[in-house]
């Protein structure tokens, strides 16, 4: 079934600031999306990651077209999602900045796609790109999962501009 595109001619009644304010209320895991093209590697911090299907295993990432990772994913046709553990907020900050060599002194290996896999993560998934969809300033990359690694550390979470650790709710 082909994708159906809805009209974007409707008047804008929600400002970008209102939208961002509500979206900050959505708590999410923190990931570093890594990519590789030829000998170059890159990484970016993201919360826009979502499972698409378990059969076949696939997920999506959303990347701003102005971000260097966008071109790397498009050219390399692969990416890895490294789910950060609660002790890795420093890596979230590092990959959120434009650093000339973001992987220097960061323990990692290269996965089956050639994309960097960060050590001590809560988990990692390597994907090959199977579909791209441009929406506004971003591209949704859908990837077929070709490798998965489950870590033991609890995940790092992000809510209202702050990193958080996972804790269980106490029952009344």
Quick check: is 38 in a domain? Answer: yes
Quick check: is 171 in a domain? Answer: no
Quick check: is 19 in a domain? Answer: no
> Can you give the residue range of the structural domain that contains 139?
30-158
> Which residues share a beta bridge with 42?
35
pTM for this prediction = 0.88
Q: What is d(CA 28, CA 81) in angstroms, rounded to the nearest whole number?
A: 14
Q: Which two tokens stand for residue 57?
A: 């295993």
Quick check: is 14 in a domain? Answer: no
Q: Look at the chain and report how many structural domains it folds into.
A: 1
Quick check: is 67 in a domain? Answer: yes
Quick check: is 7 in a domain? Answer: no
Local confidence band at 96 (pLDDT 50, 70, 90 cut-offs):
very high
Quick check: is 56 in a domain? Answer: yes
Ramachandran area for residue 131 (φ above 0: left; ψ -120 to 50: alpha; else beta)? beta
Q: What is d(CA 42, CA 62) in angstroms, rounded to the nearest whole number?
A: 15
* pLDDT tens per residue across span 71-92: 999 999 999 999 999 999 999 9
Preceding peptide of 42 cis, ω within 30° = no
% of the chain with per-residue pLDDT over 70: 94
* pLDDT tens per residue across span 129-142: 999 999 999 999 99
Query: Residue 147's domain is classified under what CATH number?
Result: 2.30.110.10
Quick check: is 120 in a domain? Answer: yes
Per the listing, tokens 């591209």 go with 139
- Check pLDDT > 70 for residue 2: no
């Amino acid at each position: 079934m082909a994708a159906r595109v809805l009209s974007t001619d409707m008047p804008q009644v929600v400002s970008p600031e209102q939208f961002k304010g509500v979206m900050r209320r959505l708590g999410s895991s923190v990931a570093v999306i890594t990519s590789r093209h030829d000998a170059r590697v890159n990484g970016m911090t993201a919360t826009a990651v979502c499972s698409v299907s378990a059969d076949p295993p696939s997920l999506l990432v959303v990347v701003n077209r102005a971000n260097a990772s966008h071109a790397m994913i498009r050219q390399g046709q692969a990416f890895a999602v490294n789910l950060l553990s609660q002790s890795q907020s420093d890596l979230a900050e590092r990959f959120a900045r434009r650093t000339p060599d973001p992987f220097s002194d960061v323990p990692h290996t290269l996965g089956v796609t050639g994309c960097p896999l960060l050590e001590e993560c809560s988990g990692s998934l390597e994907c090959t790109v199977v579909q791209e969809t441009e929406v506004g300033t971003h591209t949704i990359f859908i990837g077929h999962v070709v490798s998965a690694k489950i870590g033991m550390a609890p995940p790092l979470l992000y809510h209202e501009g702050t990193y958080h650790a996972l804790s269980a709710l106490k029952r009344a």
